Structure 1
Amino acid sequence: MATSSIITSPKNMSTAILIRVDQSGQGDYTKIQDAINSVPSNNSELVFIWVKPGTYREKLVVPADKPFITLSGTEASDTIITWNDGGEEGSESPTVNILASDFVGRYLTIQNKYGKSGKGVALRVSGDKAAFYGCRILSYQDTLLDDSGRHYYKNCYIEGATDFVFGNGASLFERCHLHSISEGNGAITAQKRESPLKNTGYVFLGCKITGIGGAILGRPWGSYSRVIYALTYMSGVVQPEGWNDWGDETKQKTVYYGEYKCYGPGAKRDKRAKWSHNLTNEEAAPFLNKTMIGGRSWLRAAPTQFNKTSN
């Protein structure tokens, strides 16, 4: 997938400019958005925004012209970004909007408290090459708009009731915990791939699925929707049929929904939708590493040296 503009990469990937956000006034800024705003347009240096513990009631945007930003807490449980917005236009509601490429989010809780009234996106990721580590992403309907680009989520907790991972990203979720709070039969994913030529889709590798009611693994927002669960624990919250065609039987012939060596009471395949796939070793192989997202070329280690901002 091509990015919309030419990005100049930092020359030194181990050193970052450090910006501190602290509500007590002991940092460079007291608001996260002010710290983001301080990064120059067409940024070509690593910027590490360290958010001290607290509850930040902000609606954040990382603009497309500000790549190479890391937004990091220390623990997700005590560094909380929260807002309350929603409605039918899910793209308007996100608490956190990532429009830039080469973004990293670490150890944050990102929350939309809109509740059961409609779509309330907590996190929208529309930039290419974005990675999230140890984050908690919380809402009810449409929690994570994994919109477009290549993305990597590791050790994240994602909670919702309806279509709570949705969009048309090419994304790998590794060792993540998906928790359904649907009291009925909610869908975990609604992936929007609309052409067999597009390399998009969601892969859940070594994940865990829990919940309080019933849940299906996915339904097709796009005709060529693609979702794979591999080596994933499925609790009894996963319904026996597993997958749903969203009322359009023609999509049964075009979607690609697969499972590979999943386990737990919800992983039994005897009553699964007949048009879903029980993948062989060979079929699963392309989805068991970072190849689909090209991760080896862009995933980066956290910086080890910091230069303080001049502010």
Structure 2
Amino acid sequence: MEFFPHPMTFILILFISYFFCLGIAADCGGKNVAYTITVGRNGKVTFKTIQAAIDSIKSNNDQWVKIHIKAGFYTEQVHIPREKPCIILEGENSQNTIINFSDHYSVPQGTSSTGTFISWPSNVIASDITFKNSYNVDDKGNNKIFPAVAASIYGDKTFLLRCSFIGYQDTLFDVIGRHYFKDCYIQGEIDFIFGNGQSYYENCLINAIGRNKNLAGFVTAQSRDSPNDPGGFVFEGGSIVGNGKVNLGRAWRAYSRVIFHNTNFSSVITPQGWNNFGHVGEENKFTYAEVDCKGPGADTSKRVPWTKKLNSAQLQEFSLASFINKDSWLNNLPIIS
């Protein structure tokens, strides 16, 4: 097993693209859905692939369009380009609506383009779907582990409800922008939630699958790189389970920020909990905190000394309303049943 560094050369383009995306769709015509496209393998459907349905939507779309995905196993890479905001992907259940692809890090494509699901624009909703990258998961004879992304989320104002993300290394690339993950399942071992999204994970089940009993994995690799950067991962409730051992996070960049509140930690969590990832002497810049967590892995007596203690006012800054919903964008989304 190898621990690969994440490619960083695209970061300037990433920020430019992000702000471009913000300007495309400030509004999607309210809470109403303009029309629905149905995708399925058989029966009365509009398209047989999800990508064909996305391709049919006009550029610079300004009204909510729902793509209803019938239960099935879809082997394809799904890409929502930046000029197509206001899209809802609706599965029938994450256990039987599965999008799978098998790709992995290589030169020159890097990590970011390997995702089974790649979403660039603002205003995207996905519900009741499994996004899986099977490269490191299904091939049990593959001794060489590479980053293999199940989903890459670039766009601001993205809501993911009851979705599953299955991979091993770099499962969920939470790149940048405000993202709300609710009642989701996330599986992996190495840096399997990574990036610099300004993201809130509510009631999510995190499963750390330990293949190598001699090496502890990492749930997060958060990449905030300045004190004024809004990025960070907040986990509210939910649980971390699994086998082997896993750290809560390591600092991809020097101002890495991750908060767990009211989360249940199984014994899979290492005693030290966190790793500086080579940022020796910069640990005071991190914001790593565990507040009111419980379970056998929540004992903080042997944690690294540079975790933060948050008072009630500081914790309030990381509430759903304060951290990602100050402009009430979540209140203006179509109702997802």
Query: Under TM normalisation by the shorter chain, which class is it?
Result: over 0.9
Matched with 2:218 is 187
- Indicate conservation of the 8 Å contact 1:172/1:290, yes or no: no
Shift, 1:73, TM fit: 0.5
For 1:11 and 1:142, locate their aligned partners in 2 and report how far apart those are by CA, in whole Å.
Answer: 35
TM-score (normalizing by structure 2): 0.87
Other structure's SS at 2:53 match: helix
- Most deviating of 83-92 and 285-294: 285-294
Q: Return closer, same or farther for 1:169/1:160 CA change in 2, 3 Å cut-off.
A: same
Shift, 1:250, TM fit: 2.2
2:67 corresponds, among 17, 35, 49, to 49
Matched with 2:19 is 3
- Indicate conservation of the 8 Å contact 1:180/1:212, yes or no: yes
- Indicate conservation of the 8 Å contact 2:316/2:322, yes or no: no
2:334 corresponds, among 281, 295, 302, to 302
Shift, 1:302, TM fit: 3.3
2:115 corresponds, among 77, 94, 101, to 94
Runs of 4+ in 1 over 6 A off after TM superposition: none
TM-score (normalizing by structure 1): 0.94
- Indicate conservation of the 8 Å contact 2:200/2:235, yes or no: yes
Matched with 1:143 is 171
Matched with 2:77 is 59
Matched with 1:244 is 275
| 1:1-311 equivalence runs, <5 A | 3-4=19-20, 5-7=23-25, 9-88=27-106, 89-115=110-136, 117-183=145-211, 184-294=215-325, 297-299=328-330, 300-303=332-335
- Indicate conservation of the 8 Å contact 2:133/2:167, yes or no: yes
Read off the aligned partner of 1:265 and give its amino acid letter: P
Other structure's SS at 1:195 match: coil
Shift, 1:74, TM fit: 1.5
Shift, 1:9, TM fit: 2.0
Shift, 1:284, TM fit: 1.4
Other structure's SS at 2:201 match: strand
Stretches of structure 2 that go unaligned for 5 or more consecutive residues are 1-14, 137-143
Give the number of aligned pairs.
304
Larger RCO, structure (CA 8 Å, separation 6 or more): 1
Matched with 1:309 is none
Other structure's SS at 2:293 match: coil
Shift, 1:213, TM fit: 0.6
Other structure's SS at 2:67 match: strand
Stretches of structure 1 that go unaligned for 5 or more consecutive residues are 305-311
| Fraction of identical pairs, as percent | 38
For 2:130 and 2:87, locate their aligned partners in 1 and report how far apart those are by CA, in whole Å.
Answer: 17
Shift, 1:8, TM fit: 5.3
- Indicate conservation of the 8 Å contact 2:25/2:86, yes or no: no
For 1:8 and 1:290, locate their aligned partners in 2 and report how far apart those are by CA, in whole Å.
Answer: 19
- Indicate conservation of the 8 Å contact 1:163/1:186, yes or no: yes
CA deviation map 1:242-276 (0-9, x unaligned):
10111331231211101110000101110011001
